[in-house]
Protein backbone atom coordinates (compact mmCIF):
# COMPACT_ATOMS: atom_id res chain seq x y z
CA UNK A 1 0.00 0.00 0.00
CA UNK A 2 1.56 3.26 -1.16
CA UNK A 3 0.11 6.53 0.08
CA UNK A 4 0.12 10.03 -1.39
CA UNK A 5 -0.46 12.78 1.15
CA UNK A 6 -2.44 15.63 -0.42
CA UNK A 7 -2.43 19.17 0.97
CA UNK A 8 -4.06 22.33 -0.37
CA UNK A 9 -2.49 25.61 0.75
CA UNK A 10 -2.87 29.37 0.76
CA UNK A 11 -0.54 31.42 2.96
CA UNK A 12 0.28 28.60 5.38
CA UNK A 13 3.83 29.52 6.44
CA UNK A 14 2.81 29.24 10.12
CA UNK A 15 1.69 25.64 9.74
CA UNK A 16 3.13 23.85 6.72
CA UNK A 17 6.47 22.75 8.21
CA UNK A 18 4.80 21.03 11.18
CA UNK A 19 2.42 19.27 8.77
CA UNK A 20 5.19 18.08 6.43
CA UNK A 21 7.40 16.92 9.30
CA UNK A 22 4.60 14.71 10.60
CA UNK A 23 4.35 12.99 7.21
CA UNK A 24 7.98 11.89 7.13
CA UNK A 25 8.32 8.09 6.71
CA UNK A 26 4.53 7.83 6.34
CA UNK A 27 3.73 9.23 2.90
CA UNK A 28 5.36 7.72 -0.18
CA UNK A 29 4.59 10.98 -1.97
CA UNK A 30 3.41 14.44 -0.93
CA UNK A 31 1.40 16.65 -3.29
CA UNK A 32 0.87 20.30 -2.37
CA UNK A 33 -1.53 22.39 -4.47
CA UNK A 34 -1.28 26.11 -3.73
CA UNK A 35 -3.84 28.74 -4.71
CA UNK A 36 -1.64 31.81 -4.85
CA UNK A 37 0.22 32.13 -1.56
CA UNK A 38 2.08 35.41 -1.06
CA UNK A 39 4.03 34.32 2.02
CA UNK A 40 6.81 31.73 2.40
CA UNK A 41 4.60 28.67 1.86
CA UNK A 42 6.23 27.68 -1.44
CA UNK A 43 9.76 28.34 -0.18
CA UNK A 44 9.19 26.16 2.88
CA UNK A 45 7.54 23.36 0.90
CA UNK A 46 10.45 23.16 -1.55
CA UNK A 47 12.80 22.29 1.31
CA UNK A 48 11.01 18.94 1.41
CA UNK A 49 10.56 16.22 -1.20
CA UNK A 50 7.11 17.38 -2.30
CA UNK A 51 5.41 17.97 -5.62
CA UNK A 52 4.40 21.63 -5.43
CA UNK A 53 1.81 22.81 -7.95
CA UNK A 54 0.04 26.15 -8.36
CA UNK A 55 -3.63 26.10 -9.28
CA UNK A 56 -6.40 28.74 -9.18
CA UNK A 57 -8.87 28.29 -6.36
CA UNK A 58 -11.82 26.04 -7.32
CA UNK A 59 -13.49 25.82 -3.92
CA UNK A 60 -12.60 23.28 -1.26
CA UNK A 61 -13.98 20.21 -3.04
CA UNK A 62 -12.75 21.20 -6.49
CA UNK A 63 -9.27 22.03 -5.25
CA UNK A 64 -8.94 18.78 -3.32
CA UNK A 65 -10.21 16.69 -6.23
CA UNK A 66 -7.74 18.40 -8.56
CA UNK A 67 -4.92 17.67 -6.12
CA UNK A 68 -5.99 14.03 -5.79
CA UNK A 69 -5.78 13.73 -9.56
CA UNK A 70 -2.09 14.65 -9.46
CA UNK A 71 -1.19 11.81 -7.11
CA UNK A 72 0.92 8.92 -8.35
CA UNK A 73 -0.84 6.55 -5.93
CA UNK A 74 -4.53 5.76 -5.58
CA UNK A 75 -4.43 5.78 -1.78
CA UNK A 76 -4.87 9.36 -0.57
CA UNK A 77 -4.10 10.74 2.87
CA UNK A 78 -5.96 14.04 2.89
CA UNK A 79 -4.51 16.47 5.41
CA UNK A 80 -4.88 20.22 5.85
CA UNK A 81 -1.85 22.44 6.21
CA UNK A 82 -2.85 23.34 9.78
CA UNK A 83 -3.00 19.67 10.79
CA UNK A 84 -0.36 17.12 11.80
CA UNK A 85 -0.31 13.42 12.63
CA UNK A 86 0.13 12.46 16.27
CA UNK A 87 2.72 9.79 17.03
CA UNK A 88 -0.03 7.26 17.75
CA UNK A 89 -1.74 8.00 14.44
CA UNK A 90 1.58 7.70 12.61
CA UNK A 91 2.08 4.25 14.12
CA UNK A 92 -1.45 3.24 13.13
CA UNK A 93 -0.78 4.19 9.51
CA UNK A 94 2.57 2.39 9.49
CA UNK A 95 0.84 -0.79 10.68
CA UNK A 96 -1.92 -0.33 8.12
CA UNK A 97 0.55 -0.07 5.26
CA UNK A 98 1.78 -3.55 6.10
CA UNK A 99 -1.73 -5.02 6.07
CA UNK A 100 -3.95 -6.34 3.32
CA UNK A 101 -6.91 -4.04 2.70
CA UNK A 102 -9.61 -3.64 0.10
CA UNK A 103 -9.65 -0.73 -2.33
CA UNK A 104 -13.15 0.07 -1.08
CA UNK A 105 -12.04 0.47 2.54
CA UNK A 106 -11.88 3.96 4.03
CA UNK A 107 -10.22 5.02 7.27
CA UNK A 108 -11.41 7.65 9.71
CA UNK A 109 -9.54 9.51 12.45
CA UNK A 110 -10.37 11.65 15.47
CA UNK A 111 -9.38 15.29 15.10
CA UNK A 112 -8.19 17.10 18.22
CA UNK A 113 -8.14 20.89 17.94
CA UNK A 114 -5.66 23.28 19.53
CA UNK A 115 -7.40 26.60 20.17
CA UNK A 116 -5.14 29.53 21.08
CA UNK A 117 -2.73 27.12 22.77
CA UNK A 118 -5.36 24.95 24.50
CA UNK A 119 -6.48 21.47 23.44
CA UNK A 120 -10.27 21.33 23.18
CA UNK A 121 -11.72 17.98 24.25
CA UNK A 122 -15.38 19.03 24.43
CA UNK A 123 -17.62 21.81 22.98
CA UNK A 124 -18.70 19.45 20.22
CA UNK A 125 -15.21 19.76 18.74
CA UNK A 126 -13.94 16.34 19.76
CA UNK A 127 -13.67 13.60 18.61
CA UNK A 128 -14.72 15.31 15.31
CA UNK A 129 -14.37 12.00 13.45
CA UNK A 130 -13.43 12.38 9.77
CA UNK A 131 -12.48 10.07 6.90
CA UNK A 132 -9.00 11.09 5.77
CA UNK A 133 -7.46 7.95 4.21
CA UNK A 134 -9.18 6.48 1.17
CA UNK A 135 -8.75 5.15 -2.35
CA UNK A 136 -9.52 7.92 -4.82
CA UNK A 137 -11.36 5.43 -7.05
CA UNK A 138 -13.89 4.86 -4.27
CA UNK A 139 -14.34 8.39 -2.89
CA UNK A 140 -14.57 11.94 -4.22
CA UNK A 141 -14.91 15.27 -2.45
CA UNK A 142 -18.24 17.07 -2.80
CA UNK A 143 -19.87 20.15 -1.22
CA UNK A 144 -19.08 23.85 -1.34
CA UNK A 145 -18.43 24.84 2.28
CA UNK A 146 -18.02 21.80 4.52
CA UNK A 147 -16.74 19.34 1.95
CA UNK A 148 -17.48 15.66 2.47
CA UNK A 149 -16.39 12.45 0.78
CA UNK A 150 -19.03 10.83 -1.42
CA UNK A 151 -18.98 7.30 -2.83
CA UNK A 152 -18.19 6.97 -6.51
CA UNK A 153 -20.35 3.87 -6.83
CA UNK A 154 -18.32 1.26 -4.98
CA UNK A 155 -19.50 0.03 -1.59
CA UNK A 156 -17.16 1.15 1.19
CA UNK A 157 -16.35 -0.20 4.64
CA UNK A 158 -15.20 2.37 7.22
CA UNK A 159 -12.47 1.55 9.73
CA UNK A 160 -11.22 3.77 12.54
CA UNK A 161 -7.53 4.47 13.16
CA UNK A 162 -6.09 4.96 16.64
CA UNK A 163 -4.45 8.28 17.35
CA UNK A 164 -5.44 11.90 16.79
CA UNK A 165 -5.11 14.22 13.84
CA UNK A 166 -3.85 17.36 15.55
CA UNK A 167 -5.57 20.49 14.28
CA UNK A 168 -3.93 23.85 15.03
CA UNK A 169 -6.95 26.01 14.33
CA UNK A 170 -6.65 29.53 15.71
CA UNK A 171 -3.68 31.39 17.15
CA UNK A 172 -5.85 34.23 18.46
CA UNK A 173 -9.50 34.97 19.18
CA UNK A 174 -9.53 37.49 16.35
CA UNK A 175 -8.74 34.66 13.92
CA UNK A 176 -11.77 32.73 15.16
CA UNK A 177 -14.07 35.77 14.86
CA UNK A 178 -12.80 36.52 11.36
CA UNK A 179 -13.37 32.90 10.29
CA UNK A 180 -16.82 32.86 11.91
CA UNK A 181 -17.77 35.95 9.93
CA UNK A 182 -16.53 34.39 6.69
CA UNK A 183 -18.26 31.05 7.14
CA UNK A 184 -21.51 32.55 8.43
CA UNK A 185 -21.71 34.48 5.16
CA UNK A 186 -21.09 31.34 3.11
CA UNK A 187 -23.57 29.21 5.06
CA UNK A 188 -26.22 31.94 4.88
CA UNK A 189 -25.77 32.15 1.12
CA UNK A 190 -26.04 28.38 0.80
CA UNK A 191 -29.20 28.32 2.92
CA UNK A 192 -30.69 31.10 0.80
CA UNK A 193 -30.00 29.16 -2.40
CA UNK A 194 -31.86 26.22 -0.87
CA UNK A 195 -34.89 28.40 -0.23
CA UNK A 196 -34.60 28.60 3.54
CA UNK A 197 -35.76 31.53 5.69
CA UNK A 198 -34.97 32.92 9.15
CA UNK A 199 -37.61 34.40 11.43
CA UNK A 200 -36.91 36.75 14.32
CA UNK A 201 -37.74 33.87 16.68
CA UNK A 202 -35.09 31.68 15.02
CA UNK A 203 -32.49 34.46 15.25
CA UNK A 204 -33.29 34.86 18.97
CA UNK A 205 -33.48 31.19 19.90
CA UNK A 206 -30.86 29.36 17.80
CA UNK A 207 -27.73 31.14 19.19
CA UNK A 208 -28.90 30.59 22.80
CA UNK A 209 -29.54 26.92 22.15
CA UNK A 210 -26.18 26.57 20.37
CA UNK A 211 -24.33 27.97 23.39
CA UNK A 212 -26.28 25.87 25.91
CA UNK A 213 -25.80 22.68 23.88
CA UNK A 214 -22.05 23.16 23.36
CA UNK A 215 -21.15 24.62 26.76
CA UNK A 216 -23.42 22.57 29.03
CA UNK A 217 -24.63 19.42 27.25
CA UNK A 218 -21.40 18.79 25.35
CA UNK A 219 -19.21 19.77 28.29
CA UNK A 220 -17.54 22.91 26.95
CA UNK A 221 -17.21 24.18 30.53
CA UNK A 222 -14.70 21.38 31.15
CA UNK A 223 -12.31 23.11 28.74
CA UNK A 224 -12.19 26.19 30.97
CA UNK A 225 -12.10 29.71 29.61
CA UNK A 226 -10.95 28.48 26.18
CA UNK A 227 -14.07 26.32 26.06
CA UNK A 228 -16.20 29.34 26.97
CA UNK A 229 -14.62 31.35 24.14
CA UNK A 230 -15.23 28.55 21.64
CA UNK A 231 -18.88 28.16 22.63
CA UNK A 232 -19.55 31.90 22.78
CA UNK A 233 -18.11 32.60 19.34
CA UNK A 234 -19.82 29.53 17.87
CA UNK A 235 -23.13 30.87 19.22
CA UNK A 236 -22.36 34.30 17.75
CA UNK A 237 -21.59 32.66 14.40
CA UNK A 238 -25.03 31.06 14.55
CA UNK A 239 -26.56 34.49 15.19
CA UNK A 240 -24.67 35.96 12.22
CA UNK A 241 -25.69 33.11 9.91
CA UNK A 242 -29.42 33.52 10.52
CA UNK A 243 -29.22 37.33 10.58
CA UNK A 244 -27.46 37.32 7.22
CA UNK A 245 -29.97 34.84 5.85
CA UNK A 246 -32.86 37.05 6.95
CA UNK A 247 -31.21 40.07 5.31
CA UNK A 248 -30.74 38.12 2.06
CA UNK A 249 -34.41 37.16 2.11
CA UNK A 250 -35.45 40.76 2.79
CA UNK A 251 -33.24 42.20 0.05
CA UNK A 252 -34.57 39.65 -2.41
CA UNK A 253 -38.17 40.07 -1.18
CA UNK A 254 -38.57 36.51 0.02
CA UNK A 255 -41.20 36.48 2.77
d(CA 114, CA 199): 35
Mean pLDDT of the chain: 95
DSSP notation for 111-177: EEEEETTEEE--TT-SS--EEEEEETTTEEEE-SSS-EEEE-SS--EEEEEEEEEEEEEESSHHHHH
Examine the fold and report which residue of 170, 193, 219 is the final residue of a domain before the chain moves on: 170
Q: How many structural domains is the chain composed of?
A: 2
CATH at residue 153: 3.90.550.10
Looking at 58-67, 85-94, 146-155, which range is the least confident one? 146-155
Examine the fold and report which residue of 147, 170, 193 is the final residue of a domain before the chain moves on: 170
The predicted structure's pLDDT at residue 135: 94
Q: Same structural domain for residues 99 and 218?
A: no
pLDDT above 80: residue 233:
yes
Per-residue pLDDT tens digits for 169-204: 999 999 999 999 999 999 999 999 999 999 999 999
pLDDT above 70: residue 155:
no
pLDDT band at 146 (very low <50, low <70, confident <90, very high): confident
Q: Same structural domain for residues 98 and 16?
A: yes
Specify which residues 77 forms β-bridges with: 5, 133
CB count, 10 Å around CB of 29? 18
CB-based contact 108:131 (threshold 8 Å): yes
Q: Same structural domain for residues 232 and 114?
A: no
Q: Same structural domain for residues 192 and 103?
A: no
Q: Same structural domain for residues 164 and 143?
A: yes
Q: Same structural domain for residues 181 and 160?
A: no
pLDDT above 80: residue 105:
yes
pLDDT above 70: residue 254:
no
Q: Same structural domain for residues 189 and 162?
A: no
Q: Same structural domain for residues 154 and 227?
A: no
Burial class of 93 by CB neighbour count within 10 A (0 to 12, 13 to 18, 19+) = buried
Examine the fold and report which residue of 124, 140, 170 is the final residue of a domain before the chain moves on: 170
Q: Same structural domain for residues 36 and 157?
A: yes
Q: Same structural domain for residues 110 and 189?
A: no
Q: Same structural domain for residues 123 and 10?
A: yes
The range of the structural domain enclosing residue 226 comes to: 174-251
Which segments of the chain does DSSP mark as H helices, in order?
16-22, 41-45, 60-70, 87-97, 173-193, 200-212, 224-251
Q: Same structural domain for residues 18 and 53?
A: yes
Amino acid sequence: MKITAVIITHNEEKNIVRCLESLQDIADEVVVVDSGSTDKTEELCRKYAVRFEKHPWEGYSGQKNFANGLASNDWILSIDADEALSDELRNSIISLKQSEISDTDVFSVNRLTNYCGHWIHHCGWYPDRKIRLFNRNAKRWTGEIHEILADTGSATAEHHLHGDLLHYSYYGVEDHIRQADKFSTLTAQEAFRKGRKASVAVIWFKPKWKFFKDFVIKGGFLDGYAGYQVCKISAFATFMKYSKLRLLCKNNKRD
